Amino acid sequence: MPASMTPRGALEEVNAFHDELVFADEAEPATLGLTRAAWRVLVVDDDADVHSTTTFALGNVEMQGRPLSFLHAYSASEAFELLRREPDVAVLLLDVVMESSDAGLSLVRRIREELGLRDLRIILRTGQPGYAPEMEAIRGYDINDYRTKSELTRTKLYTAVAAAIRSYQQIRALDDNRLGLERVVAASAELMALHGLRDVALGILNQVGLLLGQPAEGLLCVRETGHAHPDILRTVAAVGACRHLDGRELNVARGGPLAAAVERTLLNRRCAIGDGLLSLYFPGKAGRDFVACVPLERELDEHENRLLQVFAGMVTISLDNVELVTHLNQAAFHDPLTGLPNRTRLVELIDATLALPTRAQAILALVDLDHFAETNDALGHHFGDLLLVAVGRRLQSKLDPGLHVARIGGDIFCVLGEAGAVQPAPIQALFREPFHIDGQDVQVSATLGLVRLGEHDGAGADALKDADIALKRAKSQQRAGHFYFSRSMGVEIRERVRMMHALRGGFQRNQLFLAYQPQVDLLSNRPFGAEALLRWRTEDGRLVPPDRFIPIAEYSGLIVDIGEWVLRQACAELMRLRAAGHTAFTMSVNVSQVQFRHPHFLDMLRRALDDTGAPPEFIELEITESMAMEEPALLVEKLAQVKRTGVSIAIDDFGTGFSSLSHLQRLQVDRLKIDRAFVTEITGSARGSSIAEMVIQLGRNLGLSVIAEGVEDERQAQILRQLGCPLAQGFLYSRPLSPEDLLAWLADRALHQAA
């Protein structure tokens, strides 16, 4: 301080302007939760009178709604140590010249660089204008103001400090906002990583505690509204002293002030603070609104209020996401009709069971409702859905609670658990009592397919497939309504699947071909036609027997495409034979049940005839006797349509089924084929001879042609002639021939006939 400016002179100069000070109310309007902490001002000067005059001038004023609090240091080194201990000082009133001419500026540099106090506002004061800092120093060290002590009247001192405090407040607000938003973003990220509504609810309460700087306390509840839900509050999660409310219905009697605060928040649909409680409102979707209610340990400032509003908005998104994930999880792993675990969830449960040491004692059972499709068709799908729900409830309520009950699709349920509780008899006994649906009593039975998991080697999906195999076997064999899977069944089905894929590939690679077995007139031995027989030769030259691959083709549906190809090939071969002069030759083609029942069979037949030009009167279609006996009314109409194309119809394997003569009379068929089993027995069994004779006589009476297949020796042919059978085919005349060999065989027979 210069000699010309004594401490007493400085004090007098400050007092001289006392009347010029205007106490303007610059404080912002008080808001809920606004604190009254004082602004801290550090006075650094080696003159004690400067400290006292400064305190006297500013001691009773408020700035930005808060009072001032003063700290004092009498040297740069003392100020540096004080700021190291007290970093939350708002304004520094600093003398430039103290123990040295640059002590003030050196302190400024250390404050900014060593202590890193960037928010602190600095006002330099000097009694020696010649020691004023350069402009570069003011800019470089972020000095808020520079004044000579003679300039600092009380009004100007107030103005300088007020400006510095406003600047400090704005800088701190920006920093607080940045840090607060970083905390909110971090909290939101942590919430996003949680799974399940309860975990997210606990996470929200923990994050609110962290944002407020207090232990996690309070509860988060949900209100469900709508036709399907009662309008009640339920606590999703509660922590701290509220833990006793966790998972319970929330009402004023049980929750007291917290419940009342939650009700008010839901009514007003916005966040609120009152009675020492913070209520955060999270609007949900589909009528589910959430509220977090947290007891406060202190009042909140405006900055914290704003941060909590931002946090509430981000939490709403998190809750929406977890609700969506919960809904998707429900849809992905549960049956929407019954609420039971679906196939996907069941496979997970089976996998978990297979991983347990007790897997040997576990059984998986598929429960298939018998004739459910007929019930559904007769009484309607709504009735069927109600029946499925009732079955699911009965299985859940009547079986051991430790069992897993699932619905894996259609009318098939599943029971998984300990072997002693998963037994066919008790499960089937549940279906003895009728189900009461829509005022009607419905009696339902069930068939079971079971797998002992201790004998199973694969994963859960494989066990489910094995149970399905056992169920199909139980359905086909009807053995007491249930069947246990065995390893031999697995080998059989895997072989069938392997052959199915091989057959599909073989068909695409032209490994299938037709062989033609001639048919002859028994009296004249003249050939009049041939039967087209399907054959399959694999790449290694091996012939696969038709009785092995044709059932698989029928089971897989591949027979429809193969059958159309066979029909076209046979028609084309007939045209080649006619071109060679065999114009009265008939081509007989086998038609499978699957192919015949296909809705486009007639179209396929007409296309084959039109595209090849084959005359329909020389094409004969063979259907089996079992086909002819199923659904007689439909078959009569279908055969009538086929007959209108001009082709003829033969019933193959006649005598092996149980044909109704009255039904046979209604069918528009042209020929009966005596099954080879009766032809084989014709020479050694009176029964074989009598059946063959009966078929021949039946054909004669109905005006139908009759042909015996499987004729292998002359003795059989002679007996058939004696019985009056007009036609035959078999090894006695020829094995099945290739197209070229058939032409050669016909030519050779013509030569012999001419001779």
- pTM beyond 0.85: the answer is no
Residues 6+ apart with CB under 8 A from 351: 459, 460
Angle at 427 (CA atoms; ends 421, 431), nearest 5 degrees: 155
At residue 36, the pLDDT reads 55
At residue 495, the pLDDT reads 80
Q: What percent of the chain has pLDDT over 70?
A: 84
Closest by CA position to 468, among listed 481, 449, 442: 449
The model's pLDDT over 506-546, given as tens digits with 9 standing for 90+, comes to 999 999 999 999 999 999 999 999 999 999 999 999 999 99
Q: What percent of the chain has pLDDT over 90?
A: 32
CATH of 343-485, one of 3.20.20.80, 3.40.50.11540, 3.30.70.270, 2.40.420.20: 3.30.70.270
Query: Given pLDDT bands bounded at 50, 70 and 90, which one contains residue 193?
Result: low
CATH of 7-177, one of 3.40.50.40, 3.40.50.300, 3.40.50.2300, 3.10.28.10: 3.40.50.2300
Coil, helix or strand at residue 678 = helix
Letter for the amino acid at 54? T
* Mean pLDDT, the chain, integer: 82
Query: Given pLDDT bands bounded at 50, 70 and 90, which one contains residue 222?
Result: confident
Average the pLDDT over each of 35-49, 313-327, 408-422, 506-520 and give the range with the smallest value: 313-327
Let me know if 46 is exposed, middle or buried by CB neighbors in 10 A (0-12, 13-18, 19+): middle
**For residues 688, 691, 697 and 698, what is the CA-based torsion angle, rounded to 10 degrees?**
-150
The model's pLDDT over 347-376, given as tens digits with 9 standing for 90+, comes to 989 888 888 888 888 999 999 998 888 888
β-pair type (412-418, 272-274)? unpaired
Query: Given pLDDT bands bounded at 50, 70 and 90, which one contains residue 225?
Result: low
Average the pLDDT over each of 122-136, 437-451, 501-515, 685-699 and give the range with the smallest value: 122-136
Residue with tokens 């505690």: 209
Helices (H) and strands (E) in the chain, counts: 27, 27
At residue 706, the pLDDT reads 95
Average the pLDDT over each of 34-38, 595-599, 650-654 and give the range with the smallest value: 34-38
Both tokens assigned to 639 = 């055969």
- Cα 92 to Cα 44, 96, 148, 168, 170, distances in angstroms: 7, 12, 15, 11, 16
**Residue 274 CA neighbour count, 13 Å, CB half:** 12
**Residue 47 CA neighbour count, 13 Å, CB half:** 23
DSSP string, 325-358: HHHHHHHHHB-TTT-SB-HHHHHHHHHHHHTSGG
The model's pLDDT over 122-176, given as tens digits with 9 standing for 90+, comes to 988 876 665 555 566 666 667 877 777 777 778 888 888 988 888 888 777 767 6
Both tokens assigned to 354 = 């297979």
At residue 20, the pLDDT reads 34
Average the pLDDT over each of 28-37, 250-259, 406-415 and give the range with the smallest value: 28-37
CATH code that applies to domain 194-324: 3.30.450.40
Question: What number is the average pLDDT over the span 578-598?
Answer: 93
Q: Which residue has the higher pLDDT, 662 or 563?
A: 563
Residues 6+ apart with CB under 8 A from 453: 350, 353, 354, 359, 360, 362, 363, 364, 463
Closest by CA position to 700, among listed 692, 688, 711: 692
Question: What number is the average pLDDT over the span 97-108?
Answer: 84
Q: In whole angstroms, give the CA distance from residue 109 to residue 734.
A: 117
* Domain edges within the chain: 7-177, 194-324, 343-485, 509-754
Q: In whole angstroms, give the CA distance from residue 13 to residue 32.
A: 42
Question: What number is the average pLDDT over the span 237-243?
Answer: 89
Q: Which residue has the higher pLDDT, 330 or 355?
A: 355
Query: Given pLDDT bands bounded at 50, 70 and 90, which one contains residue 35?
Result: very low
Domain 509-754 class in CATH: alpha beta
At residue 740, the pLDDT reads 95
The model's pLDDT over 700-749, given as tens digits with 9 standing for 90+, comes to 988 899 999 999 999 999 999 999 999 999 999 999 999 999 999 999 88
The answer to whether 220 touches 235, Cβ cutoff 8 Å, is yes
At residue 736, the pLDDT reads 96
| Identity of the highest mean pLDDT range in 204-218, 371-385, 524-538 | 524-538
Question: What number is the average pLDDT over the span 283-289?
Answer: 72
Average the pLDDT over each of 18-27, 390-399, 553-562 and give the range with the smallest value: 18-27
Provide φ and ψ at 183, rounded to 5°.
-65, -40
Q: In whole angstroms, give the CA distance from residue 693 to residue 627.
A: 23
Q: Which residue has the higher pLDDT, 253 or 42?
A: 42
